[in-house]
Amino acid sequence: MKRILITLIALVLGGVAWSQNAKMPQNITIKTLDGESVQSSVIQNDGKPVIISFWATWCKPCNRELNTIKDLYEEWQEETGVKIVAISIDDARTVARVKPHVEGNDWPYEVYIDQNSDLKRAMGAISVPHTFILNGEGEIVWQHNGYQDGGEEEVIEVVRGLLKEKTEDK
């Protein structure tokens, strides 16, 4: 059995060598703030990059990050067309506070709820805050765990880099 396992892992890792960037999982059920179940494939931005930020109402660095970006978001959107999708992993204890939290903080983001961390788990994230950047094709090109002041600059730099690549390709 062990041998099979090792073979399989080798196969899997071998596969990586050929593969492009992983696509974001498409068929994980998440909820909108209105309680409607949707598939994770709703997360897209018409060929432009997407920043996915996993957060929770009780997570201080998450709130710092999302509050900081709030002030920059308009500029970012004008410059790069990027869209931020904030995915809450609040569970039954605090999930009812997600919508009030988002509106109370006046966050302009597209927000979804991943109550049992299904999407977070499928994307391989361990703890919040965890940020992913998807390119225009919906592929995960960058990820980051945690937030420290100034971290937002790194995020937008990656997005800018993506756009530069794209124009160069053309």
Partner 1 sequence: MKNIQKTAAGSRDRVANGYRLSAIGYRLFCVGLIFIFQFSFFSPTKAQGILGGHVTGNVQLDGQMSHADSVIGADDVPEKLLMNARADILYSNGDFNAGLRLEMYQNPLLGFDAQWKGSGVANYYVSYKTEKFGITAGHFYEQFGSGMILRTYEDRYLGLDNALFGVNVYVRPVEGVTIKALAGRQRYYWEMAEGLVRGVDGEVNLNSVLSFMKESKFRATLGAGFVSKYEEDELIPSEDPTMRLNLPLNVGAASFRADLGYGNWSLQAEYAHKGQDPWIDNKYVYHEGNALLLNLNYSQRGFSAGIQAKRIDNMGYKSMRSLSGEMLYINYLPAITKNHTYAFLTMYPYATQVNGEQGLQADVMYKFKKGTLLGGEYGTDLHLNGSLVAGLDTTITGGAGTEGYTVNGGLGETLYGDVSLEIAKKLSKAVKLTVTYAYQVFNPVVEGEGHKGLPLIHNHVAIADLSWKLNKKHSLRFEAEWLCSDSYYDESDDHHSDRRAGDWLMGLVEWNIGTHWFISLSDQVPYNDGIGNYYNLSVGYTHGATRFQLGYGKQREGLLCIGGICRQVPASNGLTFSLTTSF
Q: How many residues bind partner 1 (CB under 8 A)?
A: 72
- Asked whether position 99 contacts partner 1 by CB under 8 A, the answer is yes
Contact status: 14 vs partner 1 (CB under 8 A): yes
Three-class secondary structure of residue 5 per DSSP: helix
Identity of residue 47: G
Distance of closest approach, residue 116 Cβ to partner 1, in angstroms:
4
Residue with tokens 């124009």: 167
Using CB under 8 A as the binding rule, whether residue 104 contacts partner 1 is answered as yes
* Minimum CB distance to partner 1 smaller for 45 or for 115: 115
* Closest by CA position to 74, among listed 111, 107, 32: 107
Q: Which one of 44-52, 75-83, 110-118, 162-170 is the stretch in contact with partner 1 (CB under 8 A)?
A: 110-118
| 45-53, 76-84, 150-158, 161-169 -> range binding partner 1 (CB under 8 A) | 150-158
Specify the residue for token string 């993506």.
162
What is the per-residue burial (b if ≥16 Cβ within 10 Å, else e) of 12-28?
Answer: eeeeeeeeeeeebbeeb
> By C-beta, is 150 or 167 nearer to partner 1?
150
Query: What is d(CA 68, CA 85) in angstroms, rounded to the nearest whole number?
Result: 15
> Within positions 20 to 49, which residues make up the interface with partner 1, using CB under 8 A?
20-23, 25-29, 34-37, 39, 41
Q: Which of residues 66-85 bind partner 1 (CB under 8 A)?
A: none
- The residue within the footprint of partner 1, chosen from 72, 81, 105, 161 (CB under 8 A), is 105
Q: Name the phi and psi angles at 56, rounded to 5.
A: -150, 150
Torsion angle (degrees, nearest 10) of CA 8, 9, 11, 15: 140
Name the one range near partner 1 by CB under 8 A: 43-51, 52-60, 73-81, 161-169: 52-60
Among 47, 154, 164, 165, binds partner 1 (CB under 8 A): 154
The tokens for 89 are: 């992993």
CB of 12 to partner 1, least distance (A): 5
Query: What length is written for the chain?
Result: 170
Tokens of 92: 């039954």
